[in-house]
A and B are shown apart, each in its own frame.
Chain A
Amino acid sequence: MTVNGVARTCTVAVKRLLVDFLREEFDLTGTHVGCGHGVCGCCTVILDGQAVKSCLMLAVQADGCRVETIEGLAREGNLHPLQQAFVETGAVQCGFCTPGMVMTAKALLDERPAPTEQEIRAELSNNLCRCTGYVKIVQAVQLAAGKAR
């Protein structure tokens, strides 16, 4: 598999969850466990271009896949436009949902660069946030989408 562009080979117990594997094997603790039953989205990573809930996947299921986590977004110290937008709009409060939100938003914008507010809200319904009421998160995604165009 590749993780954030780096090829990795490991032996892993079949029952190990992808989220635990990423956090413990590679110290990529930016991906969080919020519920363990695939609803909150704090564990969202991008697997072969799709946003997935890594708490609902076994690590072995990612064999041969391309995995992107939050740590891989910034390039040479330059934030991804989404990360920059989240900082600017005040979309980050406690930050626990933030990596998952950003990854979901990135997968959305990679596929659909000019989503409507409704489409953004529908896609972000995969990720729960308890701090922001989603207001500034939606604004951040709109800001990033706008800047990309």
Chain B
Amino acid sequence: MTTLKAVGQRVPKADALEKVTGAARYTGDLKLPGMLHGKLLRSPHAHARIRRLDTSQALALPGVVAILHHGNMVRKVFAQSEYTATAPAAAPPPDQYIFDAVVRFAGEPVAAIAAVDAETAERAAELIAVDYDPLPVVTDPLEALQPGAPVVNCNPVSQGNLALHIPIHIGDVAAGFSAADVVVEGRYRTGRQKHVQTEPYTCVADFDGRGRLTVWSPNQTPHPLRKQLADLFDLPLSKVRVVTPHLGGGFGGRVGFVGEQWAAALAMAARRPVRLEYSRMEDFVGTESRHPMILEARIGARKDGTLTAVQLKTWANCGPYITQSPDVTAVHGLFFLRLYRCPNRWYDGHVVYTNTPVAGAYRGFGAPQAYFALEQMLDRLAEKLGRDPLDLRRQLTVQKGEVDQWTQLPIESGRFADCLAAGARAIGWEQNRGQRHRDGPWVRGVGCGCIMWVSGTACLHPGMVEGSGATVRLNLDGTVDVVSGATDLGTGIGTALAQVAAEQLGMPVDSVRVTLGDTDVTPFDAGSHASRSMFHAGNAVVLAAADARRQILDLAAGMLEADPADLELRGGRVEVRGAPGRGAGLAEVAMQAYLKVTEVAARGYAPQANAPPYAAHFAEVAVNTETGQVKLLNYVAAHDVGRAINPTIVEGQIEGAVFHGIGYALSEDLVVDPATGSALNASFMDYKFLTAADVPAITTILLEDPDPNGPYGAKGIGEVGVPPVAGAIANAIYDATGARLTEVPMTPERVLVAIRATRNGK
């Protein structure tokens, strides 16, 4: 087994230097000649018909170049989501317009302005006269399904405000529950988390003299976005270009359209470049959030622990537009049904329209909601059965050697049991579980939450294809250019792709340059989301690099008068095995190609494959039984990663994911007024974003078992660390206090109410 030289190394990220010196350019730093400032006028009403919209005064303001609204834009219905997983078959139904005569959430854009500067654009917004006829507002998904509820929106398959029903019925749960010795039931409600990436949304659009639309956007899916723009504006793909400058974060909030459609429309109307920049408040209400959900779940088991039935019903509040909801709501259920072995598993997902901010994709994609419920129910089941919760998980989790209950694929790698053991040791499970160590009003507990994830969405649904292409080219000086349509949202995928190419080609990592994102030059890639880029873009790069390797060895064989099988690549050179000194540098090989009137150029396309990564998380909390405050003392995340191409990057992904999970569990909620539909805390003043002083150091444990389907055995990592967190913390709170939390975030008020309910005998 050869030792890997580039893969597995803690290579510093290629873009760290420019970011740490302030040289990195983000979208808001771009300046184009003649660039205008764009601004959206937003509805204050959550539901209203626009009776009159008068732009005459605004247009008369010097410096205003264009104003767009429902009255002067082509009416074309579209679906926000493209190229995402559909499991089961649930293609996103089209249900939104770039502007409509009806507004459906507070903050929905009703007009777009392009002006010479920000101040003029704001003044113009104030001068636009809009008369609204308010309509009845509904904000709760269960109320929205009541007869007589105001109809928020419709699509080709909706029934009232039921935008979509997703049934997944495997086996016979009724029979399963009859056969159960023990049944655990639960009802859960989850809040509205926002991505809150530190870069407020900004994009720049230009429609040039050749009728070509270029959009610079911090978008995770440049190629799918290109198609969305082409479709919306009836342009051929060849007339649309998407470029991704550095992203100041993404986390799923920048998948598909964010605001590019308005920037593009303004650029086309103004015939000048337009920068559209959201304020932080606009970013809170005007970009998608995590779906608030209501879950009703039941799990039945025999005395020996085996599960006989798992059933979940979920109502997902998607706001007024369906966007990614078919996938999120389906995947939410599929993750709930998948982790623990059971022949009878039923899910009924309901996507519900309401007049609240739009929900969409967010790191974890429906699973944080599912695992918050599932991991608590597993603990409750263990308690009823008199079993150690870790032991029960070891028994029930579908593991390596079995068939994945979702994909029906064989599970070819995985160290789940090792994750449980290592994590339990690191948190001090034996010493702390059930001990309730006290210090005044503070009582301590530990809890566990586990997960089985995916590496992208390929193979999750029959007939679905999720593409990733890459090219590799050898330059005349022996350096290599790798090109991929993936995007770096801060993840360091560019560096990791350089590492796998360097490994294939036996060359130093910093002699490999990676180009990402720009649709003019990169092959198609479904985008960086769904924990897919290392696995899929990585596989594409490995294949392309392997082909480049063959070409290099063929050329070198001629130069060195050796058989290609006797050649090896090392340190940027081709050498004859066992004959040191007989070799050629990659630059010489490149020149040889040139003299033969060709070049070393290769392409690769990732096969449709998947592999499930596992993780076991452990939280230690201290709960103040007088105030309900929860302090997170310690957090351990043990992850089955396949192979850590770059351990520093992998740790960073886990730590960052856990951070989102902690906020989701304890403090983050974009609160919407139930009567008016307005967001009440759309700023950092009142949306509690945890600081370095609020979170402990997170311990990550990486365990490797290379998966044959991944590049050098790597599996997906981006989202894995988010979903188990809330369940682990809730289970720790229970261990400390005996109180069960059924709502996230688990605010001090909710914790106190739960503790008191326990004291009063529930």
Contact = CB atoms under 8 A, between A and B. Distances in A.
B198 A37 contact: no
Given A79-B20, A125-B693, A136 B15 contact: no
A74 to B, nearest CB: 6
B406 interface: no
B199 interface: yes
B684 A40 contact: yes
Interface in A88-134: 88-90, 92-99, 102, 117, 120-122, 124-134
A1 interface: no
Contact of B684 (A33, A37, A117, A131): A37
B698 interface: yes
A32 B20 contact: no
Nearest to B118: A20
A92 B13 contact: yes
B551 interface: no
Given A79-B20, A95-B490, A133-B658, A32 B26 contact: yes
Interface in B224-272: 246-251
A128 B689 contact: yes
A137 interface: yes
Interface in A59-82: 69-71, 73-74, 79
Contacts of B16: 86-87, 92, 95
Interface residues of B, number: 55
B199 A32 contact: yes
- Bin the interface of chain A by size: 35 or more
A30 interface: yes
Interface in A19-68: 23, 28-37, 39-40, 42
Interface string B455-491: 0000000000000000000000000000000000111
Contact of B695 (A126, A130, A134): A134
Contact of A71 (B22, B246, B660, B698): B22
Contacts of B692: 120-122, 124-125, 127, 129, 134, 137-138
A147 B181 CA distance: 62
Contacts of A135: 651-652, 655, 697-698
Contacts of B660: 130
Given A33-B200, A71-B21, A120-B692, A93 B648 contact: no
B22 A94 contact: no
A136 to B, nearest CB: 6
Contacts of B24: 30, 95
Contact of B685 (A33, A37, A87, A136): A37
Given A83-B20, A131-B249, A97 B491 contact: no
Interface centre among A23, A96, A122 (most CB of B within 10 A): A96
Contacts, number: 176
Contacts of B17: 79, 87
Contact of A93 (B491, B684, B698): B491
A4 B712 CA distance: 46
A18 B342 CA distance: 61
B604 interface: no
A96 B249 contact: yes
A44 to B, nearest CB: 12
A8 B7 CA distance: 48
B280 interface: yes
B683 A35 contact: yes
Nearest to A29: B29
A73 B21 contact: yes
Interface in B192-213: 195-200
B171 interface: no
B22 A124 contact: no
Contacts of B662: 133
Nearest to A140: B20
Given A35-B280, A128-B689, 6 more contacts: A28-B22, A39-B684, A90-B649, A90-B651, A94-B250, A125-B694
Interface of A: 23, 28-37, 39-40, 42, 69-71, 73-74, 79, 83, 86-90, 92-99, 102, 117, 120-122, 124-138
Interchain residue pairs A-B with the least CB separation, the first 5 = A30-B22, A94-B490, A95-B19, A96-B248, A133-B659
11 contacts: A28-B22, A39-B685, A70-B20, A74-B21, A90-B649, A94-B249, A132-B659, A133-B658, A133-B695, A134-B691, A134-B692
